[in-house]
Amino acid sequence: MQGMLESAYPAFVRSYENTKMQALRVNTLKGSVEEFLEKAPFFDKTSIRRVSWESRGFYYDETMPFGKHPFHEAGVYYIQEPSAMTPVSYLEGKSGEKILDLCAAPGGKTTQLASYMENEGLLVCNEIHPARAKILSENVERMGLRNALVTNETPKHLSELFGEYFDRILVDAPCSGEGMFRKNEEACSEWSLENVRLCADRQDEILDCADRMLCSGGRLVYSTCTFAPEENEGSVARFLARHPNYEIVKVDKYEGMSSGRAEWTGDGNTKNIEDTIRLFPHLIDGEGHYVAVLQKDGEVPNGYQGYLKNGLQKGISAKEVKELLAFERENLKRNLFEENEQRLLRFGEQIYLMPQGMPSLKQLKVLRAGLHLGTLKKNRFEPSHALALALTKEEVQHSMELCPNDKSDMSVINAYLNGQTLNYAGEKGWYLMTCSGYSIGWGKLAGQIMKNHYPKGLRK
């Protein structure tokens, strides 16, 4: 680092004496940023400030209890390192597109992508490690995603099933983690020069797989959380040498962002490498990161679908699940299921609502095939926790507010999150439980007793 940074090295070292930056990203699938700022009861609005490269992102003081507030359980925001918000902001995903997050766990960038897509289109989020894929799936549920297919596959296997299929691909590559030394002490103990070389080789393989899955004219964003040139400018330079049909996109940099360095590519000849982005902790309020925005030559003809080895997944009609339709008529204010003809998927007694144009699940290890709606049980339908978190109070017939206007009284919401039953007077049936209007789970009312359906595994 001293050789790379030269006169800036002392400032870089001093930055590690500072505490890591705390930040969150408001989940606009749940409500607007303005709504969040108005409803959030537990902080002084003057004590937070925006992350410049993500309009939904805010820095906050570590003394603020964002991780312990019910809003966190309701998926109102995602606690995310500020530099880690950068890659998705440059991917520029849009509603209705087909997007792949190839190395997606734990889910910060996936859920950020979904908010850009407004829950429309197809978002395939993949993680190779099973335990991390499970955490990814849990965060997809908490944040209320409706359009996500969560897979647990190798990039190589995915590239055999999808040919030039995705409009945009994010490769937040596994790396040596140098940029996370201040945030994560384990990253220090795991670091070695050998690991840098291993990561660089792995990144080459992952990027080649991403190329096979990106359509002509598509955008690929490559990012790491390391400073190592071999994994940053070097990885991009090697990729462009293997794939000359790509070019680096010149994007606007925000204050404090640095340019990639041609002398760090390994050959010094890669065109426009200075248009890639470096984030250093002594120059920005965040940890170390690297981002490269790449564009593939060509354009997609109208109606182009790309190659799917096993085609699209076939769904069933809502008419085939009468219990689900009965639940919809009795408890919802809109035809959520009937209006999505042939997008229902049944696994035994479990019912899912598939994203638009979901690929066949054949030969795929799948953790979540869209939105889990619930379970069929003896001629009735029991809604899932995922469905509760994906709905708003405006979409249901009945709701119960757990967070009173007196923001200091958290007794009712805490009782619910602990799994306790509650007293309530109203019509019997399913109720969407809310905190300041944000959905957080289900309750079922009978005889003025609200039975608690908050999942046992999540209870406090």
User: Could you identify the residue written with the tokens 């995903």?
Assistant: 93
User: What does 5-48 look like in DSSP terms, one character per residue?
Assistant: HGGGHHHHHHGGGSPPPEEEEE-TTTS-HHHHHHH--SS-GGG-
373 and 382 Cβ atoms separated by less than 8 Å: no
Measured CA to CA, the distance from residue 163 to residue 209 in angstroms comes to 10
With residue 330 as reference, give the H or E element that holds it: helix 322-331
Name the CA radius of gyration of the chain, rounded: 23
Residue of 103, 175, 199, 225 marked catalytic: 225
Surface-to-core class of residue 209, CB atoms within 10 Å of its CB (0-12 exposed, 13-18 middle, 19+ buried): buried
| Three-state SS at 349 | coil
Are the CB atoms for 171 and 69 separated by under 8 Å? no
| 209 annotated active-site | no
**CB of 110 within 8 A of CB of 148?**
yes
Token pair for residue 294?
A: 């790449």
Torsion on CA atoms 439, 33, 25, 27, rounded to nearest 10: 30
Neighbours of 4 (CB within 10 A): 15
Instruction: Provide the Cα torsion 407, 44, 52, 84; round to 10°.
Output: -60
**Tokens of residue 295, six digits:** 């564009």
Q: How far apart are CA 114 and CA 124, in angstroms?
A: 10
Write out the two tokens for 242.
């293997």
Do residues 386 and 147 make contact, with C-beta atoms less than 8 angstroms apart? no
d(C-alpha 325, C-alpha 329), whole Å: 6
Find the largest Cα–Cα distance for the chain: 75
The CB density around residue 418, as the number of other CB atoms within 10 Å, is 11
User: So which residues are the catalytic ones?
Assistant: 225
